[in-house]
Structure 1
Amino acid sequence: MIYSHKRNTTLGIQAQLVNPCGNSAMPVKKKRKSSGSDDPGLRKCKITCFCRPQAPGRLISPEDQFSNKKCLAWFYEYTGPDEVLGPEGMEKFCEDIGVEPENIIMLVIAWKLEAPNMGFFTKEEWLKGMTLLQCDCIERLQGKLDYLRNHLNDTIIFKNIYRYAFDFARDKDQRSLDMDTAKSMLALLLGRTWPLFPVFNQFLEQSKYKVMNKDQWYNVLEFSRTVSTDLSNYDEDGAWPVLLDEFVEWQKARLAAL
């Protein structure tokens, strides 16, 4: 609007200097060559640069949109009349997406669905989690597997998954994990990243412990992240569970005997 107002004002002044017959009412000075800033063409370019149209966004076709109906139909392919995806359906689900049931990615999927019980997904959990992932078919979930695997490389997200695993894996009438389940879950979560895991697992096998409580479980992760493999920086006066104190003593005695 600023540019339009300037142009109208200039035209009005020119009209006052020209008589109705078209002759000049006063001598007309020779026009100076206009500078680049007054050139109409350049002025038009300036206006255009402020009004450059935005490229239209890509339209999402109906086929690309997440469908609740399609997602539920996919869920019912694995369920029985009780509308719960159980162990048998879980086996077929794993086969369809090309993931072994023991693969850690299945734990990540369960975490995304906020499923409290190992081996079971309810309709509500399925719909909530798959909506979050925007997956309503096998192919879409397969396309998200790398994204889900990358969660394991994020320190904070991995800690959340690790803590989730304790309640996910334990019997709901027990407050602790039985030791066999604890060892299996630790192998799944830490076996590929913690150099001391094989030794720690050996310690658990010969120890008196039959269960692992939540405090012990949480501290094993902290131990694996902060204590060096030679145990030289382990603080015996720190607030570690007795389980880990005993592991350090056992491992040092074992190394001394070599």
Structure 2
Amino acid sequence: MPVKKKRKLPDSDDHEHRNKITSFTRPAIRSARPINAEKPFSSKKCLAWFHEYAGPDKVVGPEAMEKFCEDIGVEPENIIMLVLAWHLEAVNMGFFTKDEWLRGMTLLQCDCTERLQSKLDYLRGELNDTVVFKNIYRYAFDFARDTDQRSLDMDTAKTMLALLLGRTWPLFPVFHQFLEQSKYKGMNKDQWYSVLEFSRTISTDLSNYDEDGAWPVLLDEFVEWRKTRSLS
């Protein structure tokens, strides 16, 4: 999960900011079973676990996040961290608040490092569910964008697309090259959502792409650019 250290955490009462992530990106989350029925989930233990990482601002920030990732054995840039953030409904990339931590970890039934480690395969497996993946993909747009911006800056968009689609979309390397040389400085929500739909429905040779369809101009230009390169 890329970390933006320059971002400051908003006040916990800033409801407008917390509503940045639209409700439709959040499906009902399936509760995970405790790993040991003899030791039920403990909210008190979960809170103590949070405070092992939280600083004076009562939030797990970028430096503490690195330590947290080290402890659970996951690189900060690993997509599992994005899946975890989605479960926590985290608003700010690189930050977990106490409320986010307690809500998400309670649903996952994780109150310590070992229990979360035992759920890593579960979190990874969720990416294979097309509906869940779509929700995580949509969540990533609001999660990664700066609070005062309506679009993702292009560098962040490329990083997140590589994380989400880089290993599964055959055309991603070509699309990335297109973005590198394009005039676009950012990506809006409609473009972001459409890229996923494009990756799922359009064949690698682009033969089923309908130029008169309701695709954003960004993708029309990508198709034209790709076909021009293929002819040269």
Fold shared, TM-score > 0.5 on shorter chain: yes
Runs of 5+ consecutive residues of structure 1 not aligned to the other structure? 1-58
Partner residue, 1:107: 82
Deviation for aligned residue 1:211: 0.5
Normalised to the residue count of structure 2, the TM-score between the two structures is 0.84
What CA distance in whole angstroms lies between the structure 2 residues aligned with 1:180 and 1:89? 24
Partner residue, 1:200: 175
Partner residue, 1:253: 228
Q: 1:228 to 1:82 in 2, by over 3 A?
A: same
Partner residue, 2:210: 235
What CA distance in whole angstroms lies between the structure 1 residues aligned with 2:155 and 2:63? 23
Letter in 2 for 1:70: K
1:142 aligned residue (103, 111, 117): 117
Partner residue, 1:120: 95
Deviation for aligned residue 1:141: 0.2
Partner residue, 2:29: none
Letter in 2 for 1:245: D
What CA distance in whole angstroms lies between the structure 1 residues aligned with 2:155 and 2:92? 17
Partner residue, 2:64: 89
Deviation for aligned residue 1:136: 0.2
Letter in 2 for 1:177: L
Letter in 1 for 2:176: N
Give the SS at the match of 1:236.
coil
2:48 aligned residue (49, 73, 76): 73
Partner residue, 1:4: none
What CA distance in whole angstroms lies between the structure 1 residues aligned with 2:57 and 2:178? 43
What CA distance in whole angstroms lies between the structure 2 residues aligned with 1:137 and 1:211? 39
What CA distance in whole angstroms lies between the structure 2 residues aligned with 1:77 and 1:160? 30
Deviation for aligned residue 1:60: 4.0
State the percentage of identical aligned residues: 83
What CA distance in whole angstroms lies between the structure 2 residues aligned with 1:236 and 1:174? 30
Compute the RMSD of aligned alpha carbons: 0.9
Partner residue, 1:11: none
Letter in 1 for 2:146: D
Listed one character per residue, the Cα deviations across residues 73-125 of structure 1 (whole Å, up to 9, x for unaligned) are: 10001011221110011000000000000000000000000001100000000
Q: 1:221 to 1:60 in 2, by over 3 A?
A: closer
Alignment of 1:112-191 (within 5 A): 112-191=87-166
Partner residue, 1:222: 197
What CA distance in whole angstroms lies between the structure 2 residues aligned with 1:78 and 1:92? 8
Letter in 2 for 1:199: V
What CA distance in whole angstroms lies between the structure 2 residues aligned with 1:81 and 1:182? 31
Listed one character per residue, the Cα deviations across residues 7-44 of structure 1 (whole Å, up to 9, x for unaligned) are: xxxxxxxxxxxxxxxxxxxxxxxxxxxxxxxxxxxxxx
Normalised to the residue count of structure 1, the TM-score between the two structures is 0.76
* Higher RCO by CA contacts (8 Å cutoff, separation 6 or greater): 2
Letter in 2 for 1:135: C
Letter in 1 for 2:83: V
Letter in 2 for 1:95: E
Give the SS at the match of 2:147.
coil
